[in-house]
Amino acid sequence: MGNAIQKSTHDGVLKLGGIELNVSVLEDGTRVITHSAVFKALGREARGNARVINVPAFIDAKNLQSLIDGDLRSVIKKIEYHDKNNTVQYGYNATILPLVADLYLKAREKGVLKQNQEDTAKKAEMLTRSLAKVAINALIDEATGYQEYRARDALMRLLDMYLKEEFATWAKTFPDEFYEQMFKLKGWDYNPNSVKRPGVVGKYTNDLIYERLAPEILTELEKKNPKTDKGYRKQKHHQWLTEEIGHPKLREHLYGVIGFMRACNKGEWDKFYDMIERAYPKKNGQIKILFEGYEYTPKEKERNVSKFDKSLKKALDFSPNEDKKTKKQPTPKLF
């Protein structure tokens, strides 16, 4: 009987930040989450074959193995069970989810995270924060007896709300179109389902965006956000820009660049780059867009207009009939 396949007594769907995860409670009270749901919670495509024996596929990367602790090893054994429809399912003790999230955060903290694991670590951080917020609410409800009065799905709705807040914080500053257009201009094949990009993409991003956004800004960003010993940065450069001026100017410049990208055909990188050189020349001099912690004066906010914007305004205001000496429009001759 000890090896008999268990049955679920309760099946459900856990909603987290807009995604749905299949979960169940087994006859012995074990809470389980399906194999594919763990992948989904981490923002990854599910796969079944693990590269390491007795380790789930979602944590089988070589760089993670030395960080798997006893708590995580105690729940990585796959559980086979029948759901209420008598369909065979495979899952894990549900506590594996926060433990896996913690594993990716430890890898990032120790500087051993791979570049293709950065998005997973971000999702893990969101998940950890949100679960912690819900846990304290659940404990208070239990301590006060409020759990008897709250709505059946109150905690799930609370967790969903917290996760949506976290996702909004990490919303993409660089839209996928920026990279898709770059691949088009270079004549490369673009896979929207892959985060793998040639190493030179980072150099092109610095060239097209940060080196042209404001004087010396890339130099300052690299000081504040240096690479680790493994060659990766712990944060994205744009996270160091201020919400008041830095982020709006970044988005303004970014979508201006995308506009020029759209105007060019596949393989026309040189044509596009020439347009960018003329429209957004690289900046030199003092930093105009500053970083977190700096308080802007009203005059600085008013002056936060790029050279290109000023030049464009001057060109639009120019009149060929303007008197160069007096700077006034000549009196029109009626006869």
Would you state the pLDDT for residue 128?
A: 84
What are the pLDDT digits (tens) for 276-327? 988 888 765 333 344 444 454 555 455 444 444 555 555 545 555 554 444 4
Instruction: Give the mean model confidence (pLDDT) for residues 77-97.
Output: 92
Would you state the pLDDT for residue 196?
A: 72
The pLDDT > 90 percentage for the chain reads 26
Would you state the pLDDT for residue 302?
A: 52
Instruction: Give the mean model confidence (pLDDT) for residues 114-138.
Output: 81
pTM here is: 0.49
Higher pLDDT, 287 or 123: 123
Q: Which of 69-73, 155-159, 258-262, 306-310 has the lowest mean pLDDT?
A: 306-310
247 touches 238 (CB < 8 A): yes
| 335 pLDDT higher than 50 | no
Would you state the pLDDT for residue 68?
A: 93
| 73 pLDDT higher than 90 | yes
| 74 pLDDT higher than 80 | yes
Among 1-15, 46-60, 238-252, the range of highest mean pLDDT: 46-60
Would you state the pLDDT for residue 158?
A: 60
Would you state the pLDDT for residue 283?
A: 63
Would you state the pLDDT for residue 38?
A: 93
Higher pLDDT, 335 or 242: 242
Q: How far is CA 93 from CA 90, 124, 293, in A?
A: 10, 17, 44
What are the pLDDT digits (tens) for 194-249? 767 788 888 898 889 878 876 555 455 556 556 676 666 555 554 544 444 445 67
Mean pLDDT of the chain: 75
Among 29-33, 155-159, 210-214, the range of highest mean pLDDT: 29-33
Would you state the pLDDT for residue 197?
A: 78
Would you state the pLDDT for residue 86?
A: 92
Would you state the pLDDT for residue 1?
A: 43
Instruction: Give the mean model confidence (pLDDT) for residues 73-91.
Output: 93
